[in-house]
Structures are given as structure tokens and as C-alpha cells.
């Protein structure tokens, strides 16, 4: 239960209105990055760099920290909370998104 509280608190802080407008981008990128190992994927690092340069605000000092928090939250969620069927559904869509953005071939 303490893990769920910590994750909820992290997501609440990151999602607060005071945080930059990149919240959806940070959350979604964190989900994709946090799923890499569990979904058996290997991402192209140059593609990730290009995606961030193209989509994230260059002056957003909290972007990296927020992506890291969402990435860790996704890893935790996968390891501790997802059933096999949920993981299959999750990884199916993550693979499609990763391919769409050029993270995988």
C-alpha cells in the first residue's frame, strides 16, 4: 500500500498545474520508456533524442526529472500490478507507439 501512495503522490506532484505544459508528453514518454525491458524492446537512442528535441520545450528544466519519475512509475506498475493479460495489452500498444515514433524498426 505504501508503494501505491508514493506513486500517487509522485503523479499528483508532477501533474499539478504549476508544472510545465509538457505533462502529457512526459507521462506518455515515461510510459513508453518504462516499458522497454518488460515488453522485450530495444529503443534507438538517436530516435529518442530526436523525439525530445522536436517535442519538448527546450527551457523546461523539470522535463527530464518528470520523465524519469513516470518511467519509474511505469516499471513499478508493470512489475507489481499488471496481470499477464494486462501486460500483453500494454505491450501490444507500446510496441505500436514505439514503432510509430521510430524508437524501434
Which grid coordinates belong to 13? 506532484
**Chain centre to alpha carbon of residue 93:** 13
Does the residue 32 lie in any domain? yes
Number of domains forming the structure of the chain: 1
For residue 80, tell me if it sits in a domain: yes
**Does residue 105 form part of some domain?**
no
What is 25-52 written as a DSSP string?
HHHHHHHHHHTTTTTT----HHHHHHHH
Structural domain boundaries, residue 88: 2-100
Q: Is the pLDDT of residue 34 over 50?
A: yes
Residues 38-83 have pLDDT tens digits of 999 999 999 999 999 999 999 999 999 999 999 999 999 999 999 9
* CA 76 distance to own-chain centroid: 12
29 inside domain: yes
Amino acid at each position: 500500500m505504501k508503494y501505491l501512495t508514493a506513486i500517487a503522490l509522485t503523479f499528483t506532484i508532477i501533474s499539478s498545474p504549476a508544472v510545465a505544459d509538457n505533462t502529457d508528453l512526459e507521462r506518455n514518454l515515461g510510459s513508453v520508456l518504462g516499458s522497454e525491458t518488460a515488453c522485450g524492446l530495444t529503443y534507438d537512442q538517436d530516435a529518442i533524442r530526436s523525439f525530445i528535441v522536436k517535442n519538448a520545450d527546450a527551457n523546461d528544466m523539470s522535463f527530464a526529472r518528470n520523465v524519469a519519475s513516470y518511467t519509474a512509475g511505469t516499471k513499478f506498475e508493470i512489475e507489481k500490478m499488471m496481470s499477464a493479460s494486462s501486460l500483453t495489452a500494454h505491450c501490444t500498444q507500446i510496441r505500436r507507439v514505439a514503432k510509430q515514433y521510430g524508437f524501434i524498426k
